[in-house]
């Protein structure tokens, strides 16, 4: 059992080929990450950096803000976290696009306006239509560098990229270049290719980046709740010979 949703830190060909039955803590972190996602959207829509600067300078300067209502959120990786984010986005009146490996699993989903399969053309189309591009995909060999220079080139100049899945799913070098050149509006990043983020990273100094130290799922009780799920739910099921919850496909990596 993995006490996290992602299992990239334990995957291997040997594990994938083994008879080990693996489960994870899917669902334990989805709510707080969905709240973070909507905060990140609002951070850019309402221009929170400008508000804070004006407050410091005692500057009463009115300006127009953007609405989230009517904007489009594209969710790359429509698992439990992606769906939790879509649920809140819908409550805000947003249009939601979703990409997942098996789109049939999301047929009839009340939170999605359109479901894409996992292929390059579909990914580029989702990115090009989105105002907020949410990366919630797990890290596998197939998703490493999934969002790179090609996808960022397809994005609107007004688009914001939000990554709360795994850092290497996004090509960080390509993202930094796009942010520096103003080819996208901004990025909200809770995960990075290297953690802790090196002090030499340009991301620290970019004004159009909301940066957090991979702690947006770190509530006061998150580890306790994840452990409780194993101790009080799956372990008793295992001892009774019952079906376990949150089965993980070891070969797929999630």
By annotation, the residues acting in catalysis are: 166, 195, 214
Class of residue 39 by CB neighbours under 10 A (exposed 0-12, middle 13-18, buried 19+): middle
Nearest to 174 by CA among 164, 187, 191: 187
**93: closest CA among 73, 75, 69?**
69
- What are 132's strand-pairing partners? 73, 160
Burial status of residue 88 (CB atoms within 10 A of its CB: 0-12, 13-18, 19 or more):
middle
In 3D, which of 39, 34, 41 has the Cα closest to residue 160?
Answer: 41
Q: Are 133 and 160 in contact (CB under 8 A)?
A: yes
CA-CA distances (angstroms) from residue 167 to 13, 91, 172, 236? 22, 27, 8, 34
Q: Residue 237 corresponds to which tokens in the numbers above?
A: 């099921």
What is the rounded distance in angstroms from the CA atom of residue 200 to the CA atom of residue 172? 14
Q: Which two tokens stand for residue 18?
A: 């083994």
Round to whole Å and give the CA distance between 15 and 194.
Answer: 24
């Amino acid at each position: 059992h993995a006490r996290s949703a992602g299992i990239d830190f334990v995957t291997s060909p040997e594990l994938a080929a083994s008879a080990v039955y693996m489960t994870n803590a899917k669902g334990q972190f989805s709510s707080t990450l969905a709240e973070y996602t909507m905060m990140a959207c609002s951070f850019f829509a309402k221009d929170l950096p400008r508000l804070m600067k004006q407050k410091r300078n005692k500057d009463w300067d009115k300006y127009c803000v953007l609405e989230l209502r009517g904007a489009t959120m594209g969710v790359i990786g429509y698992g439990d976290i992606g769906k939790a984010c879509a649920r809140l986005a819908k409550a805000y009146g947003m249009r939601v696009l979703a990409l997942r490996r098996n789109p049939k699993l999301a047929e009839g989903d009340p939170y999605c306006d359109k479901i894409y399969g996992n292929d390059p053309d579909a990914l580029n189309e989702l990115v090009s239509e989105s105002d907020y591009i949410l990366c919630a995909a797990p890290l596998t060999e197939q998703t490493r560098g999934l969002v790179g220079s090609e996808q960022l080139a397809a994005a609107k100049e007004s688009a914001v990229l939000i990554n709360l899945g795994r850092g290497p799913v996004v090509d960080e070098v390509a993202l930094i270049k796009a942010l520096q050149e103003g080819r996208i509006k901004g990025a909200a990043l809770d995960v990075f290719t290297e953690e802790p983020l090196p002090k030499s990273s340009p991301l620290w100094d970019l004004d159009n980046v909301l940066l957090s130290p991979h702690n947006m799922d770190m509530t006061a009780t998150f580890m306790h709740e994840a452990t409780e799920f194993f101790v009080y739910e799956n372990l008793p099921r295992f001892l009774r010979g019952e079906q376990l919850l949150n089965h993980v496909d070891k070969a797929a990596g999630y």
